[in-house]
Amino acid sequence: MTLKNQSLKLPLVQGTLEELPISRPEWLAWDEVTKSARVAHLPSAEDVPFPVDVQQVVEYYANRM
C-alpha cells in the first residue's frame, strides 16, 4: 500500500508519520523513501498488543453469518 501524494500533504498524515503515536508492528514493513507499507509476514496471536479471546471472536462472527 502506498500513500497518495495528495494524502501526504494532509497535516494529520504528516504529523503521524513524523511522530508515531504507537510503534509499528514487526510484521508490517514500512519504506520511508516510497512511503509504502507491505505485510512482511502474517501476524500471529502473540503479535496482538492487547489480550484477545479468540474463541469469543469466532463465536461473534459465527452468529452473524
The percent of the chain in helix, strand and coil, each rounded to the nearest 5, is 35, 15, 50
Contact (CB, 8 A) for 18 and 12: no
Residues 26, 31, 37, 40: what is their CA dihedral angle, to the nearest 10 degrees?
Answer: -40
18 closest CA partner among 32, 2, 36? 32
Question: pLDDT tens-digit profile of 8-51?
Answer: 899 998 998 888 878 888 899 999 888 899 999 998 878 888 88
Residue range of the domain that includes 40: 5-62
State the pLDDT at residue 12.
92
**3-state SS assignment for residue 2:** strand
State the pLDDT at residue 65.
79
Number of domains, the chain: 1
User: Does residue 62 carry a pLDDT above 90?
Assistant: yes
Q: Could you tell me how far CA 4 lies from the centroid of its own chain?
A: 17
pTM of the model as a whole: 0.59
